[in-house]
Amino acid sequence: MKVVDTTGLVKTADVTRMTRREKAKVRRARAGEVYEEPRANPVLMWITRFLIHHLGFSGMPLLAPLFRWLDIFPWFRGVRMRGIDFPADHLARARAAASKDTAAFIAPNHPEFFTDFLMGHAVGSMISRKLAFWVGFDLVNGPLRIIWLRHNLIANAPGGGGKRYSRKAALRGDGVFIHPEGDVGWTGHTVQKVFAGVAHLPLTCFDDERYDGRDVFIVPLAYRYRFCEDPSRGLRREMDLIEARLSLPPTTGDVGERFFALQRHLLARQAAAHDVDLPPVTDENFFDLQDRFFTALQEGLEEDLGLESRGHPADRIVAIEQRLRVVRRTAENGEQRYRAGNRRFQEMRRAYHFSRRCYGTDELTLEQVAESLKRIRQDLFTGRFWDWLRAMMPFPVADRVAHVRTLAPILVNDYRHLPLEEAEEKLVARYRRELQAGLDELTAELAGDTPTVPNPFAVAVAPAKVAKVASAASA
């Protein structure tokens, strides 16, 4: 049997002589090369939307109230989303851009895992009933492959027909839903690196044989998840668990004081675990030392993997992740090398996101505190079944409301006269800039209903720079 991995390297494998681990390695390689065109089933998609609205968001009607007090098996309570605030005029704007007479690519920010998956189907169904969804090939090509394909999920398998099907779905007026940030950054207030796919897909519609002169749009959606009840009890419980599992010194005080003390202790612990020499961590030098820790991990990984240490940090993170996947599938002792490298990679990425560029404001919302704790659990809690399940389906610490806003659709036709690479670069920059501005505007709109805690780590940021850091966090 011939196996082609996502790097284009070809290996020959005789599955009859393989160990269980070797067979798993072959299956992972095949998952990247397999692509099958979605076959949307409107009835199944409607049933799923119904279940998301009535079970996925609120939990099981009879069991959810019981487990609210027992605080165990939290998935019986759904993702604790009490409602979606999607104003009628914003919904109408999205529908107008994603009509049967246009080609639309719906592109929201990606604040967290699993909840965004449910939100995509819930919000997407309000905009278009047969919306197609770009999803990771490892999910689509998993055990539920037949079901996912009938939900119009497009596997992003390299070399597959996902791009062709996306153009087909967009040009027939169904629309395509895509997360341009790719991976979850767990930074609900900040848009992370945007990949070129959000521009490449609509730009290539003009060269498709089905193109009939219609307008092609990128439709930015801004998501914000806001607690609608006091999350302090849940946040304290999360911190208790993190301190116990990671053997951190116990902290005292209110939620804010405990959170920042926990972050100081965690940085010192992780630096020692990865042999990075740092001076004592204080409020004043925290972000500087976090940056030093991130740089040491990044440069160490690049040296081990034979990568050049240049370019924007976000681009270098992507390059490291891609090279680790190559090592896993092709190198001798690849699985062992991948696991060792991936531990450092996850720590590096977590340090990159909990930095001054994302959290350099003089106050942090309790949503920011919660997302940071979830990121710690996802990256550092491993080895147990419940850890894996929590990583797949992170559970919020309190009930929330989802606020959704449709920003001004971007008419891609205005860029079709430019060379493809230049047009992609300009569209990506514009999309990210306008989405971040829309997210900042939504954050300001909700400010009166969002509890905050003072941020002692921001003392090293000059007052004039605080506002810039908040609005241009990933530039």
Tens of pLDDT, residues 72-103: 555 567 788 889 999 999 999 999 999 999 99
First to last CA, the chain: 46
DSSP string, 280-305: PP-TTTHHHHHHHHHHHHHHHHHHHH
Taking residues 427-453, report their average pLDDT: 93
Residue 23 has pLDDT above 80, yes or no: no
The per-residue pLDDT for 447 is: 86
In 213-254, which residue ranges form alpha helices assigned H by DSSP?
232-245
Contact between 124 and 237 under an 8 Å Cβ cutoff? The reply is no
The pLDDT tens digits for 283-295 are 999 999 999 999 9
Instruction: Report pLDDT for 80.
Output: 86
Q: What is the DSSP letter of 54?
A: I
Lowest-confidence pick of 111-120, 252-261, 381-390, 405-414: 381-390
SS3 for 229?
coil
- Give pLDDT, residue 84: 93
pTM of the predicted model, to two decimals? 0.84
Q: How far is Cα 349 from Cα 340, in angstroms, rounded to an integer?
A: 15
Question: Which pLDDT score is estimated for 465?
Answer: 43
- Under the banding of pLDDT at 50, 70 and 90, the label for residue 16 is low
**Per-residue confidence band for 329, with pLDDT thresholds at 50, 70 and 90:** confident
Average the pLDDT over 209-227 and give the result: 95
Query: What is the pLDDT, as a whole number, of residue 473?
Result: 40
CA dihedral 211, 217, 219, 220 (to 10 degrees): 120
CA–CA separation, 139 vs 155, rounded Å? 8
